[in-house]
């Protein structure tokens, strides 16, 4: 998936690689919700819980009561479908996750003892597992090490009359076993070093590459997404084969429930196009045929009418170090009518952005097709999208579908709103180089975030094309493909966010909005995102690599021209952009090179860029960042509990209305899910 994640590192003005917002005045109505005044009066309690390095928030659904009954039913059925597959992501992430989680759930459900120090340590571990959909951190992919003793855990198991296998117990408490959920360090072996459950015992990278080399159709202009919905194993003869995730096979118990709810959704689809897409999704889950997935993706991307939309399937490939297998996820959403209408201007001008890009003419699309962009209110999330959620999504992934039929881009408006309203502390005041930079961030940071995300999703992921005969990026660029794609989309956004075209379109008040985006991007890429790492670690997470790659490259190239200077003051480090126009040119240069790498499939150059600029960490800067953020008490990660859509029934068990209820306890929601959506037992 082309996905944007929120970084909460400078949450005072809501920055990530990803998204911001503010207000402006232009010739046209600016693209910004009137939230500033609303925030001050909003008594909605956004923060639900804090533990470890995480805080849990909740988000509001605005306008749900304005939907028709059938639209409410559709939303309800789709959220139930999404939640029905939640067990899948646990099993995909690690083969012992479900067994460990089920033991944790049983203990929490039955515990009647006092809240001792050991119990609090256990509950922190439980919440970490719930949040990460397993025992490896959702972001760093490092395994959690329990702070409570094994003997205490065994006592809890006995009291709950629960069981855990000896092997699962061992991996829980031994920090050296399966220590990394997803490993991107090629020296350790991409498959051998990853604990995820996509590959069976004995499967090697060479076997995988040879297998797909044999079955792929040469010069196929419409290649399927090989490996997207299967586990790769060695059969009884020692031969490699794929075991599909399908109703009649692996994960069938959960997928049959997903299909049950999708079939209910079909009965209340808003239009024929939406109905056809849902029918094709059901067919795909029943057959497991990736051609059916392509047919569905084409139908889904063309189903642009209607107020309710959704994402459901095996989509996100970041969890597989080889970039083949997709993790299960679901997002159900309703259109934010006012915001979407204002942002439609980007959708209407996407060809202008492509034509005026810094990339080589041969790499530009002559006719960018079918790009749609909407601001939406999330109604419910599940799988790899929950509790940690993106704030922007662009799909489908297949380049040939995007080129021929277009793509859908969405900004999750109420998620962004929740982040903004829940913000506390000031990373800006701590890390901005001077008062001018801080004031610019506070004035324009929110809007620059929105524009950055919109440009990243709508223009960035839709731009560029592969040279004829060049394989897909996961084939040519391999484990570096995702990092380079996210860097490319970021660079498209950064290249245009200072352009006067945005002022002319009514998207920005002035180029000061772009300057705020540049300040934030460099600050985050070179410093503040390091809050997420442990001392001594290199960067392995895709989006962090992308941000540091871009920031480090332009910093190095711009030093001779004093584009960006590194400032030391009172023992603290700051980065000061001295020439924004020159920096814009450097962003354009790097965009041109990364697009060339993607278009030509230049693995050697792509690897060098990522390894030279995106992986290694300045350890002195890292230690300094950790020391400076500690007093601010801002958790580096945030996630959400979902609102609950509750159907009201008549005497004949027909739905007569659907109401929204808000959950105020992370533990309460996780136990509710355990009771109602546990279909896979390990």
Q: What is the pLDDT of residue 32?
A: 31
pLDDT above 70: residue 24: no
Q: Encoding tokens for residue 18?
A: 């990803």
DSSP letters for 99-135: HHHHHHHHHHHH--S---HHHHHHHHHHHHHHHHTSS
Statement: residue 49 has pLDDT above 50: yes
User: How far is it, in rounded angstroms, from Cα 327 to Cα 329?
Assistant: 6
Q: What angle (nearest 5°) sits at the alpha carbon of residue 134, between those of residues 133 and 135?
A: 145
Give 42's pLDDT tier (boundaries 50, 70, 90).
low
E strand spans, 258-326: 308-316
For residues 456-460, average pLDDT: 88
**What single string gives the DSSP state of each residue in 58-102?**
E----SGGGS-HHHHHHHHHHHHHHHHTHHHHHHHH-TTHHHHHH
Quickly state the pLDDT bin for 416 (edges 50, 70, 90).
confident
Please say whether the beta carbons of 226 and 290 come within 8 A: yes
From CA 172, how far away is CA 123, in angstroms rounded?
Answer: 15
Strand order in the sheet with 407-412: 2-5, 390-395, 407-412, 371-383, 327-335, 308-316
Q: What is the 3-state secondary structure (H, E, C) of 576-640?
A: EECCHHHHHHHHHHHHHHHHHHHHHCCHHHHHHHHHHHHHCCCHHHHHHHHHHHHHHCCCCEEEE
HSE-up (13 A, CA, CB side) for residue 475: 20
Mean confidence (pLDDT) of the chain: 91
Contact 94, 195 (CB under 8 A): yes
**How far, in Å, CA of 597 to CA of 142, rounded?**
30
Phi/psi of residue 507, each to 5°? -90, -20
Of 362-376, 387-401, 641-655, least confident by mean pLDDT is 362-376
pLDDT per residue over 469-517, tens digit each?
A: 999 898 999 999 999 999 999 999 999 999 999 999 999 999 999 999 9
- Among 274-278, 353-357, 397-401, 424-428, the range scoring the smallest mean pLDDT is 424-428
Q: What percent of the chain is predicted at pLDDT more than 70? A: 93
Q: Say which DSSP state 156 is in.
A: H
Nearest CA to 605 out of 415, 422, 477, 469 is that of 477
3 state DSSP class of 374? strand
What confidence score (pLDDT) does residue 18 get? Answer: 35
Instruction: Domain ranges for the chain, please list them.
Output: 2-34+52-62+336-639
Q: For 377-437, give the DSSP string.
A: EEEEEEETTSSS-EEEEEE---HHHHHHH-EEEEEEHHHHHHHHHT--S-HHHHH-SSHHH
pLDDT at 28: 30
What pLDDT, on the 0 to 100 scale, is given for residue 449?
Answer: 84
- Higher pLDDT among residues 676 and 399, named by residue: 676
Helix H or strand E encompassing 330: strand 327-335
**What band does 6 get if pLDDT is binned at 50, 70 and 90?**
low
Report whether 349 contacts 584 (CB < 8 A). Answer: no
* Of 228-232, 250-254, 475-479, minimum mean pLDDT range: 475-479
Q: Is 642 left (phi over 0), alpha (psi -120 to 50) or beta?
A: beta
pLDDT value at residue 14? 29
pLDDT above 50 (res 334): yes
- Residues 247-276 have a mean pLDDT of 98
Q: What's the CA gap between 28 and 62, in Å, rounded?
A: 25
Please say if the pLDDT value at position 36 is more than 50: no
Q: Which residues pair with 661 in a beta bridge?
A: 644
Say what the pLDDT of residue 682 is. Answer: 62
| Residue 3: its H or E element | strand 2-5
Over residues 215-239, the mean pLDDT reads 94
Confidence label for 21 from pLDDT (cuts 50, 70 and 90): very low
Place of tokens 């067994």: 99
CA–CA separation, 228 vs 329, rounded Å? Answer: 13
Q: Quote the CA–CA distance of 20 and 16 in Å, as a whole number.
A: 8
422 pLDDT more than 90: no
pTM: 0.80
Please state the separation of Cα 438 from the chain's center in Å. Answer: 28
Q: What is the per-residue pLDDT for 13?
A: 29
pLDDT tens for each residue of 561-586 = 689 999 999 999 999 999 999 999 99
> Looking at residues 637-646, what average pLDDT do you find?
97
pLDDT tens-digit readout, 142-179: 999 999 999 999 999 999 999 999 999 999 999 999 99
pLDDT at residue 660, as a whole number: 98
CA distance readout (Å), 445 to 19, 24, 46, 398: 9, 11, 21, 33
Report the distance separating Cα 179 and Cα 156, nearest Å.
24
Q: Is residue 20 scored above 70 in pLDDT?
A: no
- Give the CA angle between residues 387, 390, 394 to the nearest 5°: 140
Using one digit for the tens of pLDDT, what is the confidence trace for 582-633? 999 999 999 999 999 999 999 999 999 999 999 999 999 999 999 999 998 8
Q: Quickly state the pLDDT bin for 450 (edges 50, 70, 90).
A: confident
> 66 CB contacts (<8 Å, ≥6 apart)?
none
């Amino acid at each position: 998936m082309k996905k944007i994640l929120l970084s909460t590192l400078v949450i005072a003005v809501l920055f990530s690689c990803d998204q911001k917002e503010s207000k402006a005045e232009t010739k046209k109505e600016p693209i910004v919700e009137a939230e500033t005044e609303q925030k001050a009066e909003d008594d909605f309690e956004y923060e639900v819980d804090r533990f470890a390095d995480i805080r849990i928030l909740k988000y509001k659904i605005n306008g749900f009561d304005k939907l028709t009954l059938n639209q409410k039913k559709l939303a309800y059925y789709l959220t139930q479908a999404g939640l029905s597959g939640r067990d899948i992501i646990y099993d995909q992430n690690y083969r012992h996750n479900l067994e460990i989680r089920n033991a944790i759930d049983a203990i929490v459900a039955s515990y009647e003892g006092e809240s001792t120090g050991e119990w609090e340590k256990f509950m922190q571990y439980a919440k970490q597992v719930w949040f990460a959909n397993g025992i490896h951190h959702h972001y760093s992919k490092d395994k959690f090490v329990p702070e409570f003793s094994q003997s205490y855990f065994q006592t809890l198991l006995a009291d709950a009359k629960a069981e855990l296998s000896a092997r699962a117990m061992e991996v829980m408490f031994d920090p050296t076993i399966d220590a990394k959920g997803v490993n991107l360090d090629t020296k350790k072996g991409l498959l051998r070093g990853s604990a995820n459950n996509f590959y069976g015992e004995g499967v090697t990278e060479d076997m995988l590459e040879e297998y797909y080399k044999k079955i792929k159709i040469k010069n196929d202009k419409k290649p399927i997404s090989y490996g997207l919905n299967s586990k790769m194993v060695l059969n009884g003869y020692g031969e490699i084969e794929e075991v599909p995730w399908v109703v009649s096979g692996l994960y069938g118990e959960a997928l049959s429930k997903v299909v049950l709810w999708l079939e209910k959704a079909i009965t209340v689809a808003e239009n024929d196009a939406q109905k056809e897409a849902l029918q094709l999704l059901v067919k795909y889950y029943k057959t497991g045929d990736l051609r059916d997935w392509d047919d569905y993706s084409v139908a889904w991307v063309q189903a642009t009418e209607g107020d309710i939309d959704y994402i459901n399937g095996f989509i996100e490939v970041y969890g597989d170090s080889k970039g083949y297998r997709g993790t299960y996820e679901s997002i159900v959403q309703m259109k934010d009518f006012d915001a979407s209408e204002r942002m439609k201007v980007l959708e209407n001008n996407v060809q202008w952005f492509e034509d005026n890009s810094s990339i080589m003419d041969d790499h530009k699309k002559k006719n960018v097709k079918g790009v749609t962009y909407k601001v939406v209110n999330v109604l419910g999330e599940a799988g790899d999208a929950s509790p940690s959620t993106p704030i922007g999504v662009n799909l489908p992934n297949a380049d040939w579908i995007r080129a021929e039929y277009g793509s859908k881009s969405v900004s999750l408006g109420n998620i962004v709103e929740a982040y903004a309203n829940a913000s506390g502390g000031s990373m800006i005041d701590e890390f901005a180089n001077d008062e001018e930079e801080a004031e610019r961030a506070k004035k324009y940071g929110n809007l620059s975030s929105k524009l950055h995300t919109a440009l990243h999703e709508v223009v960035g992921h839709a731009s560029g094309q592969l040279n004829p005969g060049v394989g897909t990026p996961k084939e040519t660029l391999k484990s570096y493909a995702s990092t380079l794609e996210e860097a490319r989309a970021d660079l498209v956004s950064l290249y245009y966010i200072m352009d006067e075209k945005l002022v002319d379109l009514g998207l920005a008040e002035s180029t000061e909005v772009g300057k705020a985006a540049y300040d934030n991007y460099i600050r985050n890429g070179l410093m503040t995102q390091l809050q997420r790492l442990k001392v001594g670690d290199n960067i392995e997470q895709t989006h962090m690599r992308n941000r540091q790659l871009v920031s480090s490259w332009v910093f190095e190239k711009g030093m001779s021209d004093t584009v960006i200077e590194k400032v030391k003051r009172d023992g603290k480090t700051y980065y000061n952009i001295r020439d924004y126009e020159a920096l814009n040119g450097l962003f354009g240069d790097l965009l041109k090179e990364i697009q060339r790498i993607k278009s030509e499939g230049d693995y050697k150059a792509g690897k060098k860029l990522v390894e030279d600029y995106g992986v290694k960490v300045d350890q002195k800067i890292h230690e300094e960042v950790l020391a400076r953020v500690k007093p601010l008490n801002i958790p580096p990660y945030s996630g959400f509990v979902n609102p609950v859509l509750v159907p009201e029934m008549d005497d004949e068990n027909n739905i007569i209305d659907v109401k929204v209820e808000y959950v105020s306890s992370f533990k309460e929601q996780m136990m509710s899910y355990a009771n109602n959506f546990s279909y896979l037992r390990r």
